[in-house]
Copies of this chain bind each other. A is one copy, B any other.
Amino acid sequence: MKIKKEVTIYDLAKELNYSPSTISRALNNHKSISKKTIKLIKEAAEEMGYRPNNLAAGLRNNKSNTIGVLISRINRPFMASLISGIEETARKAGHNVLISQSNDKYENEISNCNTLYDSRITGLIVSLSMETVEMEHFKKFVDKGIPIVFVDRVPDNFNSYKVVIDNYTAGYSATKHLIEQGCKRIAHFAGAQHRNVYRERKKGYLDALREHGLPIEDNLIVNFKTLSFEEGNKATKKLLKMGNPPDGIFSANDTAAVSAIMCAKKMGVEVPEELAVIGFNDDPIASIVQPSLSTVSHPASKMGAISAKRILDHSANTYDTELSEITVLGTEIVVRDSSRKKDIVLESE
Counting chain B CB atoms within 10 Å of each CB, which of A94, A119, A283 scores highest? A119
A260-271: CB near B (< 8 Å → 1, else 0) gives: 001000000000
Q: What are 16 sample pairs from A and B whose C-beta atoms fall under 8 A apart?
A: A1-B322, A6-B62, A49-B140, A51-B117, A55-B59, A73-B84, A74-B80, A75-B84, A76-B80, A94-B115, A96-B98, A96-B115, A96-B119, A97-B100, A99-B99, A285-B288
Number of copies: 2
Given the interface pairs A99-B99, A100-B97, A143-B4, the reply to whether A120 lies near B81 with Cβ below 8 Å is: no
Q: Which of B6, B140, B145, B301 contacts A51 (CB 8 A)?
A: B140
Nearest chain B CB to A68 CB, angstrom units: 9
**Which residues of chain B are within 8 angstroms of A115 by Cβ–Cβ distance?**
91, 94, 96
Which residue on chain B has the smallest CB distance to residue A98?
Answer: B96
Complex interface bits, A105-122 against B, C-beta within 8 A gives 1, otherwise 0:
000000010111111100
Q: Which of B55, B283, B322 contacts A120 (CB 8 A)?
A: B55
Interface string of A78-104 (1 = CB under 8 A from B): 011101100110010010111111000
A64 touches B55 (CB 8 A): yes
Which B residues are CB-close (under 8 A) to A59?
A: 53, 55-56, 59
Is B101 a contact of A88 with CB atoms below 8 Å? yes
Quick one: given A4-B143, A143-B3, A144-B3, are A54 and B119 in contact (CB under 8 Å)? yes
Contact between B49 and A119 (Cβ–Cβ < 8 Å)?
A: no
Complex contacts, A3 vs chain B, CB 8 Å: 143-145, 319
Are A1 and B319 interface neighbours, CB within 8 A? yes
**Nearest chain B CB to A91's CB is how many angstroms away?**
7
Contact with B along A296-325 (1 / 0, CB 8 A): 000001000000000000000001001000
The answer on a CB contact under 8 Å between B99 and A112 is no
Q: What residue of chain B has the Cβ atom nearest to residue A58's Cβ?
A: B55
Set of chain B residues within 8 Å of A88, measured between Cβ atoms: 101
What residue in chain B is nearest A108 (Cβ atoms)? Answer: B91
Q: Which of A127-147 contact B (CB under 8 A)?
A: 140, 143-145
A284 within 8 A of B: yes
Hey, what's the 0/1 contact readout for A1-35 against B, CB within 8 Å counting as 1?
Answer: 10110100000000000000000000000000000
Known A54-B120, A55-B64; contact A98-B101, beta-carbon cutoff 8 A: no
